[in-house]
Structure 1
């Protein structure tokens, strides 16, 4: 199995690029529900490396394409030392699921 960093560099470039190609984790067991985990990138406000100038909009669009699906369970991961009222992840999750059904 190729090294994770090498695969990331191959797909997204070695200079902080971002790809919309999925990396999937599949869990097989007769004792659990079928689930696919999609790890989405965090919001980038300022482009670095090879990132395009509209990187924030591209990432937001990518995230919404997944989390607006009714079958999606949103797990918004946030730093523990940030103010929850100011977190992009929670704002995006709220926009995708305003009734809190996901």
Structure 2
């Protein structure tokens, strides 16, 4: 469920930041209750995802590291546990070089 949120997150970050810079009440709500503020913005945050909104200043900056891409998603784990597999058939013709 949270995979969709992370896939779409990058699409709306700039829009949310822009609105927060133009609308002080939205900015305050985003800092106080990010889930509700994002919901008002039309973004549904899954219950299993925690949201933290941090405000930078002239003397404080944040570097956000993305999650480890090697971590399996819930969907990946379900596929492994359920025995989902793929089979590829290949017909190869061997040609003697001239």
Same fold at TM > 0.5: no
User: Rg larger in 1 or in 2?
Assistant: 2
Query: So what's the TM-score if we normalise by structure 2?
Result: 0.28
More contact order relative to length (CA 8 Å, sep ≥ 6)? 2
From the two aligned structures, give the one with the greater helix fraction.
2
Query: So what's the TM-score if we normalise by structure 1?
Result: 0.27
